[in-house]
Structure 1
Amino acid sequence: MKNTTDGRGLVSRRSFALGAFGTSAALMLAACGGGTSSNAPSTGAASSGAAKSTSATLTLWVDAERAPALKQIAAKFKDEKGIAVKLVVKDFAAVRDDFITQAPTGKGPDVLVGPHDWLGKLVQNGVVAPLQLGDKASQFAESSIQAMTYDGQVYGLPYSIENVALVRNTALSSEPLKTFDEVVAAGKKAVTAGKAKYSFLVGLDPKQADPYHTYALQTSFGAPVFAQKADGSYDGSKVIMDNAGGVKFAEFLARNGDKGTKVFNSNITGDIAKEKFLAGQSAYFLTGPWNTPDIQKKGIKFAVDPLPTAGDQPAQPFIGVNGFFISAKSKNTLAATEFVVNYLSQEAAQDALFKTGGRPPALTSSFEKASTDPVVKAFGEIGANGVPMPAVPAMDAVWADWGGTELDLIKGKEANPGAAWKKMVATINKKI
Structure 2
Amino acid sequence: MLQSIIDAFKRLYSDVTFSLLYIPSDDLFNKYREASYHGRGPGLLLGPSEWGYKLYNEALISDIQQYVPGEYLTNINPAALASGKYNDALISLPLSLHGLVMYRNTSILSTAPYSFNELIALSQQVTHGGVVGSYLERGATFSSPDILGLGGRLMDNNENPAFNDLYGQEWLDLLKAFDEAGAVTFNTNRDLDMFKRGRVGIIIDGSWNASILAQAIGADNLAIDPWLTFGTGHMSGWVETDSIFLNANTTGNDQFAALSFIGYLLDPNVQMRLAEVGHIPSVTTTQPRDLFIQQAMVAFSDGVPYPNSIDPYVLNIYWNELDWAIKNVFEAGVDPEMALSTADRNITQIFRELRTEP
TM class by shorter-chain length? Answer: 0.7 to 0.9
1:292 aligned partner: 210
Shift of 1:324: 0.8
Match of 2:244 among 296, 302, 324: 324
Q: Secondary structure at the match of 2:23?
A: strand
- TM-score, normalised on structure 1? 0.63
* CA distance in structure 1 between the partners assigned to 2:40 and 2:8 by the alignment: 25
Match of 1:383 among 286, 300, 309: 300
Q: Secondary structure at the match of 1:72?
A: helix
8 Å CA contact 1:200, 1:282 repeated in 2: yes
Shift of 1:267: 2.9
Match of 2:68 among 133, 154, 174: 133
Shift of 1:428: 6.4
2:186 aligned partner: 265
* Greater share of residues in helix: 2
Quick one: which amino acid aligns to residue 426 of structure 1?
A: T
* CA distance in structure 2 between the partners assigned to 1:121 and 1:330 by the alignment: 18
1:279 aligns with 2:279: no
Quick one: which amino acid aligns to residue 240 of structure 1?
A: A
Q: Provide Cα deviations, 1:283-306, integer angstroms capped at 9, x if missing partner.
A: 112134333233334414133322
- Count how many residue pairs are aligned between Structure 1 and Structure 2: 337
Q: Provide Cα deviations, 1:307-363, integer angstroms capped at 9, x if missing partner.
A: 23455533343433432112224699538715743553455642332222341x123
Q: Provide Cα deviations, 1:109-142, integer angstroms capped at 9, x if missing partner.
A: 5432234454333322222113323599358426
8 Å CA contact 1:77, 1:339 repeated in 2: no
Alignment of structure 1 residues 121-270 onto 2, 5 Å = 121-131=54-64, 132-134=67-69, 137=72, 140-141=75-76, 143=78, 144-145=80-81, 147-180=83-116, 182-183=118-119, 186-187=122-123, 189-194=125-130, 196=131, 199-202=134-137, 209-211=139-141, 213-219=142-148, 222-227=151-156, 235-236=157-158, 238-247=160-169, 249-250=171-172, 253=175, 263-268=184-189
Quick one: which amino acid aligns to residue 217 of structure 1?
A: D
- TM-score, normalised on structure 2? 0.73
1:120 aligns with 2:53: yes
Q: Secondary structure at the match of 1:418?
A: helix
Q: Secondary structure at the match of 2:46?
A: strand
Shift of 1:400: 0.3
Match of 1:341 among 262, 271, 285: 262
Q: Secondary structure at the match of 1:401?
A: helix
Q: Secondary structure at the match of 2:144?
A: helix
1:71 aligned partner: 3
8 Å CA contact 2:77, 2:301 repeated in 1: no
* CA distance in structure 2 between the partners assigned to 1:183 and 1:156 by the alignment: 38
2:225 aligned partner: 305
Shift of 1:404: 1.7
Shift of 1:147: 4.3
1:85 aligns with 2:4: no
8 Å CA contact 2:275, 2:293 repeated in 1: no
Shift of 1:405: 2.6
Over 3 Å counting, the alpha-carbon distance change for 1:147 and 1:90 in structure 2 is: closer
8 Å CA contact 2:123, 2:132 repeated in 1: no
* CA distance in structure 2 between the partners assigned to 1:125 and 1:294 by the alignment: 39
Q: Secondary structure at the match of 1:402?
A: helix
1:104 aligns with 2:20: no
Q: Provide Cα deviations, 1:28-52, integer angstroms capped at 9, x if missing partner.
A: xxxxxxxxxxxxxxxxxxxxxxxxx
Over 3 Å counting, the alpha-carbon distance change for 1:134 and 1:246 in structure 2 is: closer
8 Å CA contact 1:239, 1:428 repeated in 2: no
8 Å CA contact 1:111, 1:325 repeated in 2: yes
Q: Secondary structure at the match of 1:385?
A: coil
Quick one: which amino acid aligns to residue 276 of structure 2?
A: K
Over 3 Å counting, the alpha-carbon distance change for 1:273 and 1:327 in structure 2 is: farther
Shift of 1:100: 4.7
Q: Provide Cα deviations, 1:363-415, integer angstroms capped at 9, x if missing partner.
A: 355x1x21x55543433333333333345x44645410122234445556766
* CA distance in structure 1 between the partners assigned to 2:345 and 2:41 by the alignment: 40
Q: Provide Cα deviations, 1:33-89, integer angstroms capped at 9, x if missing partner.
A: xxxxxxxxxxxxxxxxxxxxxxxxxxxxxxxxxxxx323234556784343212223
Quick one: which amino acid aligns to residue 133 of structure 1?
A: V
Over 3 Å counting, the alpha-carbon distance change for 1:115 and 1:414 in structure 2 is: farther
Q: Secondary structure at the match of 1:164?
A: strand
* CA distance in structure 1 between the partners assigned to 2:140 and 2:159 by the alignment: 23
8 Å CA contact 2:44, 2:246 repeated in 1: yes
* CA distance in structure 2 between the partners assigned to 1:242 and 1:96 by the alignment: 36
1:23 aligned partner: none
Q: Secondary structure at the match of 1:223?
A: coil
